[in-house]
Structure 1
Amino acid sequence: MTKTVVVTGAGSGIGRAIATTLAERGWQVVVTDIDAAAADLVAAALPAGDGVRHEATVLDVTSASDAATVAYGVTDRLGLDAWVSNAGISFMHRFLDAPIAKFDQTMDVNLKGVFVCGQAAARAMVRSNTAGAIVNTASMAGKQGRVPFLADYVASKFGVVGLTQAMAYELGEHGITVNCVCPGYVETPMQSRELEWEAQLRGITTEGVRAMMLDDTPLRRLERPEDVARSVAFLLSDDARFITGEALAVNGGAYMD
């Protein structure tokens, strides 16, 4: 029987890789993003087997009403078996110079968005008596504060790790598992922006920053979105049905705990 998953922030980067990997493994994917055109392009490119129809829809993850509309709509039309809260943003600035407005924006998307979407997904699963799975995208920055120029991002991702555990504890009685993945230095458009920002803040070249990332990573390469996607696929699989509340490090050894 085909299972259906909603992926947020799936218009590019890690989210697109998650949507693609899950589709390749037989999932029916609802691609959501704040950018409607990007979501449409990703959904149209997904491989689909017999009886599988991928969808795309706009979702502002900070909106409880938007999240509920998507969660209940998917449940009623297709059945909601899993939800991946992946949407996230970042800005880089020295802590002393960090604008409160940017802090608010980061927390709204990265933490409130995970709360809002997780709540909507869980309510829909409980209503339909579905022992589903929820995976949140955190970061290795959610396990250590030794991350320069990203204090607000670090705070948001520590929050995601804690929220994942709290959700897992309360939703266990409904058979719903909740886990998060903690990627490292992933080659995405967001990281490309961060490379430029960090280079400016350090007064070095982007290649110099990239070399620092490689030096931090024992496996000696930067992470690819597909590395994260395969970990998410595992956490949504039957093999992971007795794993919940976990913050899975997927970073090539860049941070070990």
Structure 2
Amino acid sequence: MKTETVLITGAANGIGRATALAFGREGAQVAVTDKDEQGAAAVAAEIGPRARAFGLDVTDAAAVARVFDEAAAALGPITVVHANAGVSSMKRAVDLTEADWDFNFSINAKGVFLTNQAAVRHFLAHGTKGVIVNTASLAAKVGAPLLTHYSASKFAVIGWTQALAREVAADGIRVNAVCPGFVKTPMQDREAAWEAELLGTTPEAVLQSYIDQTPLGRLETPEDVADVVVFLASDAARFMTGQGINVTGGVYMT
């Protein structure tokens, strides 16, 4: 990866942080972006001099375009983009508000759209056969109760990934997605607490239920996902596009 320049959104913690560090270990130059600019800076510092941090709200088209320009000016033309920024909230479907729906879609779906669009424009402008990897979810393959709006937003990511992959294949641009399962991140900790409250149980019991659903018998780590993202960005995956790769420990197998 020493010839690659990678831009990652939502990279201050969780899967994005693990992906940034993984690319850094492979020698890539890494643009670490997040709405939490201080958190992004901490990750860039972990990687070292080949990384730069940028504050980024992925729902702001002008900001996305600006950060691509700034990252390219600092590190060179972007060749790999991991559109990872995402959010969740949890309610019963009958209790959802428009604000709940819009919150999930604005970041999970619109954020991927804007980041991918900027990436394709950047690749075409620089004559780059670039790679995009989007973070979808297990909930993009199987609808998740209490996460109906989140599931819908992640199903949208899969549909977008497939359609975009077909559209830009002739330009040598590959577009894939990863579909993580029960990943131990700060987001998962919040979701376990929400689910416990909704179901009248404890967060510990909820987390155990996640493990019980996972054939490989443990919670997933961010690094489990990051290694697959690096693979999809590499030449080893040169004939893969339009895929939603399950990284679930066997929770979902088709």
Q: Tell me the residue number matched to 2:56.
A: 59
Query: 2:150, 2:77 → 1: CA distance?
Result: 33
AA of the residue aligned to 2:240: I
Q: Tell me the residue number matched to 2:195.
A: 198
1:174 aligns with 2:171: yes
Alignment partner of 1:149: what SS?
coil
Q: Deviation of residue 72 (structure 1)?
A: 2.8
AA of the residue aligned to 1:230: D
AA of the residue aligned to 2:53: A
Structure 1 stretches of at least 4 aligned residues deviating more than 6 Å after TM superposition: none
Q: Tell me the residue number matched to 1:102.
A: 100
Quick check: 1:141–1:157 contact (8 Å CA) kept in 2?
yes
Query: 2:64, 2:253 → 1: CA distance?
Result: 34
Query: 2:63, 2:239 → 1: CA distance?
Result: 31
Quick check: 1:75–1:128 contact (8 Å CA) kept in 2?
no
Question: What CA deviation, in whole Å up to 9, does each residue of 1:154-186 have, x standing for no partner?
Answer: 000000000001110111111010000000000
Question: What CA deviation, in whole Å up to 9, does each residue of 1:159-215 have, x standing for no partner?
Answer: 000000111011111101000000000000000000000000010111111121111
Query: 2:11, 2:206 → 1: CA distance?
Result: 27
1:230 aligns with 2:230: no
Q: Tell me the residue number matched to 1:32.
A: 33
Query: 1:43, 1:76 → 2: CA distance?
Result: 17
Question: What CA deviation, in whole Å up to 9, does each residue of 1:41-87 have, x standing for no partner?
Answer: 110011x4xxx621000111011111111223333441111100000
Quick check: 1:75–1:124 contact (8 Å CA) kept in 2?
no
Quick check: 1:11–1:35 contact (8 Å CA) kept in 2?
yes
Query: 2:164, 2:35 → 1: CA distance?
Result: 24
Query: 1:169, 1:97 → 2: CA distance?
Result: 37
Query: 1:74, 1:169 → 2: CA distance?
Result: 27
Query: 1:22, 1:167 → 2: CA distance?
Result: 24
Summarize the alignment of residues 79-94 of structure 1 with structure 2, pairs less than 5 Å apart.
79-94=77-92
Q: Which moved more, 1:68-77 or 1:114-123?
A: 68-77
Q: Deviation of residue 39 (structure 1)?
A: 0.6
Match of 2:152 among 151, 155, 178: 155
AA of the residue aligned to 2:116: G
Q: Tell me the residue number matched to 2:43.
A: 42
Alignment partner of 1:55: what SS?
strand
Aligned residues: 252
Match of 2:131 among 119, 130, 133: 133
Alignment partner of 2:133: what SS?
strand
Identity percentage of aligned residues? 50
Unaligned runs of 5+ residues in structure 2 are none
Alignment partner of 2:123: what SS?
helix
Alignment partner of 1:65: what SS?
helix
Query: 1:148, 1:196 → 2: CA distance?
Result: 15
Q: Tell me the residue number matched to 1:188.
A: 185
Normalization by structure 2: what TM-score?
0.97
1:5 aligns with 2:3: no
Question: What CA deviation, in whole Å up to 9, does each residue of 1:112-153 have, x standing for no partner?
Answer: 0000000001100000000010000000100111x1210110
Query: 1:157, 1:182 → 2: CA distance?
Result: 9
1:213 aligns with 2:213: no
Alignment partner of 2:109: what SS?
helix
Alignment partner of 2:129: what SS?
coil
AA of the residue aligned to 2:182: Y
AA of the residue aligned to 2:13: S
AA of the residue aligned to 2:122: A
